[in-house]
Amino acid sequence: MVSTLTKRNPLDYDNYGNWCGIGGKGEPVDGVDRCCRSHDRCYHNHDRYKDCQGIFFNIRSYIRSYKWSFSRNRKSITCGKYCILSEE
């Protein structure tokens, strides 16, 4: 998600702002940080479904891929069937 929207390696943003990297809290500091928050929320919503659970649940959630799309006009990121996130 980050690489598509910024054209950079996602690791360039490790520990950037309040949401890029492991964990996250508070308000995003800018658009890139909002993207990281959206990414985290997609994983969170993805993990709520029983088909995602099992042994190594926490680790699997970070290596499991999910489908997503971005609409610049609607200012929203859609994460598969699991969530729709609007960013302002």
Task: Return binding residues.
Answer: 21, 23, 40
Vertex 1 angle, CA 48 and 46, to 5° = 5
CA quadruple 50, 53, 59, 60: dihedral sign: negative
**Residue stretches of the annotated binding site for Ca(2+):** 21, 23, 40
- Strands annotated E in 1-82: 68-71, 76-79
